Amino acid sequence: MLKNDLLLRALRHEDVKRPPVWMMRQAGRYLPEYIAFRNKYDFFTRVETPELACAITLQPVDILGVDAAIIFSDILVVPKAMGMTVLMEEGKGPSLPNTIKTQKDIDLLNEHDIVSRLSYVLDALKLTKHELNDRVPLIGFAGAPFTLLCYMVEGKGGKGFDKAKAFCFTQPELASMLLEKITQATIQYLIGQAKAGADVLQVFDSWSGLLAPADFDLFAAPYLIKIADAVAPYAPVILFPKGSNYALCSLSQYQNVSGIGLDWTIKPADARRDTQHRVALQGNFDPSKLMMQPNEIRREVHAMIDDFGVNGYIANLGHGITPSIPVRHAKAFVDAVKEYSLNSEA
């Protein structure tokens, strides 16, 4: 039995005294303890060694006191397990030198037995679940098919992913074939994560907001829903279609979607209006605001919780925390959420 099940209660819309809090990319370069591992082991060694991934996952739980752990891994482990070369260059971000261009490239991707090639993630989850000793829930995750397509076709991170979008618009049959393959791999992978101990599953569609609403309905939504339908019997699912505010109303209609993550470009009241408590909402503090002074962070966080309401809400950032944030400020964010009930009763 979990000692702190606030996250699961929020996803079920049960009454809580305060919302749960965790931070996207909470295990990362703003923590000196993470940098210590980074100085010793390269990125994929950290990800592929269960003992290292476990130790890194626990850091923010111990240091910040967040209400959930998220397994230390990356969305790009899936393209790697499907056979693509994925490099993580220090200071430059990911690079996939052999991009997907043709039908043949897609045919070569192997979505079968994906779970066996990702067994290191499952081992990391099992170990972390054990080490957590039921202190807080453990979140597993994967990249959404459209976001993974962006990296697989573009070959690197970017602002607009023009090449990847042009691939979708000019070769929609190839795009749907690729998205379908990624979807099948992701379903197997997420079910494997739940079986290995993940209590909640989040699907990161970090780049879906680059799509117009009609294109989101073609290239993102069907695959997100397919994944949610397949994995919901195993664990509650949070979708994070970053920037796709236009999709909130429709995505929230699906029974198998338990939560939706938001970035800071939407007012809490508008998100509630569009979703009507059919799903829990997660977000949406602008991570750049963590540069403000702790007392200001505290005020802003309390205003954010006032706006979302306490039930069916998961306090989080609107995107990942960045390396320049002082740990003291990250802690102020977490503490501000944790003291909320005391504050509002005063």
Residues that bind ligand CP3 (CB under 6 A): 24-29, 38, 43, 70, 72, 74-76, 88, 93-94, 141, 157, 204, 206, 320
Based on the residue annotation, tell me whether 272 is a catalytic residue of this protein.
Answer: no
Torsion of CA 77, 79, 81, 82, to 10 degrees: 170
Closest contact distance (angstroms) between CB of 295 and ligand CP3 is 26
Residue 172 vs 209, nearer CB to ligand CP3: 209
Which residue among the candidates 151, 189, 254, 313 is catalytic per the annotation?
Answer: 151
Distance CA 96, CA 116 (A): 22
Closest contact distance (angstroms) between CB of 271 and ligand CP3 is 19
Residue 27 vs 232, nearer CB to ligand CP3: 27
Which residue among the candidates 29, 105, 215, 234 is catalytic per the annotation?
Answer: 29
Torsion of CA 317, 180, 194, 275, to 10 degrees: 40
Q: Considering only CA atoms, which of 12, 206, 5, 10 is closest in space to residue 93? A: 206
Based on the residue annotation, tell me whether 151 is a catalytic residue of this protein.
Answer: yes
Provide the token pair at 164. 């990847």
Angstrom distances, CA of residue 278 to CA of 259, 262, 308, 337: 9, 15, 14, 23
- Tally DSSP H helices, then E strands, for the chain: 18, 9
Residue 10 vs 121, nearer CB to ligand CP3: 121
Residue 65 vs 94, nearer CB to ligand CP3: 94
Which residue among the candidates 12, 25, 135, 272 is catalytic per the annotation?
Answer: 25
DSSP state of 21: B
Closest contact distance (angstroms) between CB of 43 and ligand CP3 is 5
Residue 243 vs 312, nearer CB to ligand CP3: 243
Closest-approach residue to ligand CP3 (CB): 206
Provide the token pair at 263. 């970035």
Based on the residue annotation, tell me whether 38 is a catalytic residue of this protein.
Answer: yes
Contact call for residues 122 and 115 (beta carbons, < 8 A) = yes
DSSP state of 144: -
Sign (positive or negative) of CA dihedral 343, 291, 320, 137: negative
Residue 72 vs 216, nearer CB to ligand CP3: 72
Sign (positive or negative) of CA dihedral 12, 223, 181, 27: negative
β pairing state of 313-317 and 280-285: parallel
Residue 42 vs 107, nearer CB to ligand CP3: 42
Length of the chain equals: 346
Closest contact distance (angstroms) between CB of 255 and ligand CP3 is 25
Closest contact distance (angstroms) between CB of 197 and ligand CP3 is 16
Q: State the helix-helix crossing angle for 119-132 and 172-195, rounded to 10 degrees.
A: 40
Q: ω before 284 within 30° of 0 (cis)?
A: yes
Closest contact distance (angstroms) between CB of 38 and ligand CP3 is 5
The set of residues, in sequence order, having a beta carbon less than 8 Å from that of 171 and lying 6+ positions away, is none
Provide the token pair at 58. 């626990």
Closest contact distance (angstroms) between CB of 70 and ligand CP3 is 5
Provide the token pair at 45. 């060694």
* Residues carrying an active site annotation: 25, 29, 38, 74, 151
